[in-house]
Amino acid sequence: MTVTPVTLVVTPSYSGAMDFILPAADDPRRAEVRAWLVDHPSPSGKELAEAGYVAPHWPRPWGLDADPIHQLIIDDELTRAGVRRPVNPIGIGWAGPTLLYAGTDEQKHRYLAPILSGEEFWCQLFSEPGSGSDLANLGTRAVRDGDEFVVNGQKIWTSGAQYATYGILIARTDPDVPKHKGVSYFVCPMDAPGIEIRPITEMTGGHTFNEVFFTDVRIPAENLVGDLNDGWRLAKVTLGNERVSLSTGGVLWGNGPTALEMIDAIREAHPQGVSDPFLRQRVAEVYIEHTLLDLIRLRTLTAALKGEQPGPEASIRKILADEHGQHVMSLARDVIGASGMLTGGDGSEPFVPGTDTKGLGPDKPAGGLAHPGWYDGFMFSQALTIGGGTGDVQRNIVAERVLGLPHDVNVTAGMSWAESQRAAGRAS
């Protein structure tokens, strides 16, 4: 069979382009942002935070109480001006919204401003070796001792712990009730005595994830967020929050390149078109995935504009987006060929999600797909379908909570956490 060569043609698009028509240039909200940018052409993270432009959907004084359209206008204007917001994904995306929801006034005023400015980086202390997919089975203990809680246990897969000033910590404060009811939520200073951070070395030679060990770590009782033993409910609030950046994000958990940027790089590397029919097919599939994810994003935006809560599309988008990221990075490596096996460097500067893009974004240096950041991005992408809830767990959630399929049999139903540990042959 003869295969007739076909040149792939994809309409170029810059990464900040919107998928629908926003208010025109004379809209007063645009004018306000543009005037501010004239006065702040290279704004610091603190200046952006004080203006309310880091998380404009947050309430004043930290945000602008902005509706979705206003958020998109701000995002569009900052993108056009080449302004990047502070990068603090867990602080801005998870910890901050939870503190807004359940924190005391003192906690809000202490933590929120430095979160938004990027002055204090945050991590998440949730997963444990024996409680990843079953997070509520966590065993790290926090015992009240006067005005403090004494914490002992271990956390794992803690992204960015080595950079963090604070972490959001869930720990068991009552082992004699069912596992979901005896958990509390804390702000944990990462420099507290008794905390040991051990790196988990990755394939790139660098490390993003860590093990964190707690040995008689004392946390002030004032760092308890919400009520004692109500931490599981707050953990669900944390996990249910995604950063409200309604623009198109990169394929590495919102960082790195978009599929369109990769396609632009392929076009530069192959100005006559991709001749291999199998590669052309994969490029087309990646473009289709990108388009579908954008349509799902727009469904979420439409619901927000109508005052509705997001539906099952959010869970479905998580599954699709993780696999899409792997497809993009794998295709990029295959297009470049044998040189894709080379790091392009000494491995001393690994990709760190949420802290740098290693040249994989709109400001990437010269080098196209040969830039070393693509190597690290490809290696890191293998974690996408594991971190933040594995693809299989996410599919179970969709099956049970969206489609209404039967739940798995729970043999520990009605047991306290301590009883379930004894039943499983583990010490309580």
Q: Identify whether 271 is preceded by a cis peptide bond (ω within 30 of 0).
A: no
Count the residues in the chain: 428
Q: Could you give the CA distance from residue 339 to residue 354 in angstroms, rounded to a whole number?
A: 27
**Mapping DSSP to helix (H, G, I), strand (E, B) and coil, where does residue 23 land?**
coil
Radius of gyration of the chain (CA): 23
Catalytic annotation present for 242: yes
DSSP state of 399: I
The whole-angstrom separation of Cα 310 and Cα 299 is 8
Inter-residue contact 55 to 115 (CB < 8 Å): no
C-alpha distances in angstroms, 323 versus 277, 320, 400?
22, 5, 21
- Burial (CB count within 10 angstroms: exposed 0-12, middle 13-18, buried 19+), residue 391: middle
Q: Give the single-character DSSP code of 3.
A: P
Alpha helices in 276-387 (DSSP H): 277-305, 313-336, 372-381
Catalytic one of 50, 119, 211, 242: 242
Q: Point out the residues that are catalytic.
A: 242
